[in-house]
């Protein structure tokens, strides 16, 4: 379990400088048949609202693509900062702001303040600030920094989570609280860090805390009142998981009664993890939500024989009832902490000569998974970073071909396992451009030595069962922005970072520009077709947030991003974390040796325009 990350509130705004291409390297991989001006056969199932950013990913499908094109490959070199605001909180600034009707809404890390900025006035002054005052004890049980991944807007309300498991709805015009609902319990180690998704009149949210023996779940709340409508657990009997007669998994491995109990040792499912702290997407065409569950608890696989369903599983559910339609367990009996809470991107596209309704999942396990989102059939699974825990996936069975030498056991060290528990990518989201047919993946290249150890459960304390150390992976780099050809399941180009993982979300635009940030603090604009770095600026702290773009009240296009290093890997930048301790922060310090040389804690919103 991570060391307590005690915050020292700093305000750090460094001088912004336009710089050369720095340490990034562009690597041409070739193979992309989509050329500028030639659109691939991709249909977005839920396009972004005109010029706004009202949902965590900008749209229901989690594409993080905006058709705005005023900022393009020809003029992006002229970008300049047009506004900034310090939050005064020097912790991990994950997630993204919202933009609705000329107002920007910023959600901070703990204490989870909501700040409204007036985009119609110079400097974007504050309109109001809502302070929810969450229970400070929640900071002590937060696994991986006191972060927040954003909000959703609907029906005049900004809806988001506080660290102490409250979902709050705030009047978007006045900043007054409309309702507040408690959905979890900090006393058992449960926190809420993910961004809720609003589908029609239902607010959908999950939980965090898998390293403390928390039982994962997703909850549906009434948008008008905040009243709980349904609750679907990730483990336990079918009635708890909301599995009924309409549940039709594609593969036999996922078929059977009460698998959330029978694939565990007695009562193991009650402490089973499978938390849902990542991204939720929705497809209006099938009327299904999609999300992934986290690792089963504990990390030591010997303590939980069986497939451990439904940990590390992609679920499809009905949004109004929570009823499960299908499920695909990505990694049965996980031995590596490969949470698969990553984004699931819903698109219709030409797949081997036939239009298919696809779900694209760039996984923590190091594979890009492509599934049929109507049935859960696995259509493709290919590696996008160095991977040796499994050789490949069998598409007929949906099972990975695991290398037994990379599986830890009690008292047995599995060495040089790639990727590490931080994955081929983390929760930080990819972007998909329908103009290029490319998926832009913020990737990691770290490996680990991993030993299972005994663990005892005490409510609200670490329940880990692992001794893990991490270090840079092969190839002389630790991070990469990967352009992935979805149709042909291969990398086209990549921009590598030798020193730190890429821990920022990605934005793709109609101007054929891709935006992302580095943990060192560079905010970059790349040519979406070639990967050429067209512009970059050094911000005040490492970037672990997700860029957005929007049209201001003046009709001009802008780009915004948070700067504030943190999260699991970024926590190593905090003064309280000793990089000399190889087991600190769940073992990530060995992979982050240079972070304190390259960045420092901060917390600032930046807005850029032409």
Q: Is 337 a catalytic residue?
A: yes
Specify whether the CB–CB gap between 202 and 321 falls below 8 A: no
- Answer for the pair 533, 21: CB distance below 8 angstroms, yes or no: yes
Partner residues linked to 414 by β-bridges: 450
Residue 344 falls in the annotated catalytic set: no
The single residue of 295, 300, 308, 445 carrying the catalytic annotation is: 295
The 3-state secondary structure of 505-534, one letter per residue? CEEEECCCEEEEECCCCEEEEEECCCCCEE
Record the tokens describing residue 608, joined without a space. Answer: 């850029």
CB atoms within 10 A of CB 332: 20
Active site residue 211: yes
Closest listed residue to residue 312, CA positions, set 346, 278, 289: 278
Specify whether the backbone of 226 is left (phi greater than 0), alpha (psi in -120 to 50) or beta: left
How much of the chain is helix, strand and coil, in % rounded to 5?
10, 35, 55
Residue the block writes with tokens 């929007």: 550
| Paired residues of 222 in beta bridges | 202
Which two three-digit tokens encode residue 263?
A: 């694939």
Catalytic residue among 145, 190, 207, 211: 211
Strand partners, 197: 204
Pairing status of strand 65-66 against strand 506-509: parallel
Closest CA to 309 of 325, 323, 328: 328
109 in Cβ contact with 146 (< 8 Å): yes
Q: In what order do the strands lie in the sheet with 25-28?
A: 25-28, 490-497, 479-485, 438-444, 431-433
**Residue 527: CB atoms within 10 Å:** 19
| Given 164, 190, 254, 337, the catalytic residue | 337
* Structural tokens at position 242: 């909301």
Cβ burial, residue 49 (10 Å; 0-12/13-18/19+): middle
Record the tokens describing residue 419, joined without a space.
């990727």
Question: Strand, coil or helix: what is 51?
Answer: coil
Q: Where are the beta strands (DSSP E) in 388-510?
A: 390-394, 399-402, 413-417, 431-433, 438-444, 446-452, 466-472, 479-485, 490-497, 506-509
Per residue in 468-494, is it b (16+ CB within 10 Å) or e — as a string? Answer: bbbbbbeeebbbbbbbbbbbeeebbbb
Name 383's bridge partners: 367
> Which two structure tokens, joined as six digits, stand for 157?
């309300």
Catalytic residues, by residue number, are 211, 295, 337
């Amino acid at each position: 379990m991570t060391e307590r990350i005690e915050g020292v509130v700093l305000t750090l705004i460094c001088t912004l400088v336009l710089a050369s291409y720095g340490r990034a390297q562009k690597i041409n991989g070739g193979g992309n048949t989509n050329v500028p001006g030639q659109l691939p056969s991709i249909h977005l199932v839920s396009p972004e609202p005109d010029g706004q950013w009202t949902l965590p990913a900008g749209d229901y499908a989690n594409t993080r693509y905006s058709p705005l094109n005023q900022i393009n490959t020809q003029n992006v070199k002229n970008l300049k900062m047009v506004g900034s605001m310090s939050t005064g909180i020097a912790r991990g600034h994950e997630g993204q702001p919202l933009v609705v009707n000329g107002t920007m809404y910023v959600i901070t890390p703990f204490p989870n303040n909501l700040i409204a900025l007036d985009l119609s006035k110079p400097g974007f002054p504050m309109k109001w600030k809502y302070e929810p005052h969450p229970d400070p004890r929640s900071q002590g049980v937060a696994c991986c920094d006191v972060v927040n991944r954003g909000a959703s807007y609907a029906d005049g309300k900004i809806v988001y989570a506080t660290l102490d498991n409250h979902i709050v709805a705030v009047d978007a015009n006045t900043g007054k609280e409309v309702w507040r609902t408690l959905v979890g319990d900090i006393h058992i180690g449960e926190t809420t860090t993910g961004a809720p998704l609003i589908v029609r009149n239902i607010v959908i949210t999950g939980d965090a805390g898998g390293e403390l023996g928390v039982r994962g779940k997703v909850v549906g709340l009434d948008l008008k009142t905040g009243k709980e409508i349904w609750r679907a657990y990730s483990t336990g009997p079918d009635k708890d998981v909301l599995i009924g007669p309409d549940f039709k998994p594609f593969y036999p491995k996922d078929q059977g009664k009460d698998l959330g109990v029978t694939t565990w040792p007695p009562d193991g499912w009650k402490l089973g993890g499978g938390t849902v702290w990542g991204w939720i997407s929705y497809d209006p065409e099938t009327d299904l939500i999609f999300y992934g569950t986290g690792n089963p608890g504990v990390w030591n696989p010997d303590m939980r024989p069986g497939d451990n369903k439904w940990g590390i599983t992609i679920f499809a559910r009905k949004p109004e009832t929570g009823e499960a339609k299908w499920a695909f367990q990505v990694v049965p009996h996980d031995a590596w902490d490969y949470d698969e809470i990553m984004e699931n991107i819903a698109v219709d596209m030409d797949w081997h000569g036939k239009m298919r309704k696809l779900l694209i999942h760039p996984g923590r396990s190091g594979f890009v998974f492509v599934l049929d989102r109507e049935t859960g059939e696995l259509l493709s699974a290919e590696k996008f970073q160095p991977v040796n825990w499994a050789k490949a996936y069998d598409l007929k069975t949906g099972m990975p071909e695991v290398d037994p030498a990379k599986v830890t056991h009690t008292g047995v060290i599995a060495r040089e396992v790639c990727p590490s528990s931080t994955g081929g990518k983390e929760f930080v989201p990819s972007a998909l451009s329908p103009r290029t047919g490319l998926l832009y993946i913020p990737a990691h290249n770290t490996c680990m030595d991993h030993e299972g150890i005994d663990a005892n459960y005490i409510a609200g304390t670490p329940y880990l069962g692992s001794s893990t150390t991490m270090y840079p992976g092969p190839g002389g780099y630790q991070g990469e922005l990967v352009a992935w050809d979805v149709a042909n399941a291969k990398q086209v180009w990549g921009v590598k970072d030798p020193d730190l993982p890429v821990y920022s979300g990605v934005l793709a635009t109609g101007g054929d520009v891709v935006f992302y940030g580095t943990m060192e603090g560079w905010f970059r604009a790349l040519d979406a077709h070639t990967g050429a770095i067209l512009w970059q600026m050094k911000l005040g702290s490492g970037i672990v947030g997700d860029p957005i773009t929007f049209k201001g009240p003046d009709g001009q296009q802008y780009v915004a991003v948070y700067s504030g290093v943190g999260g699991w890997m970024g926590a190593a930048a905090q003064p309280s974390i000793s990089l000399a301790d190889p087991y600190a922060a769940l073992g990530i310090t060995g992979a982050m040796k240079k972070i304190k040389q390259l960045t420092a804690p901060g917390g600032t919103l930046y807005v850029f325009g032409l």
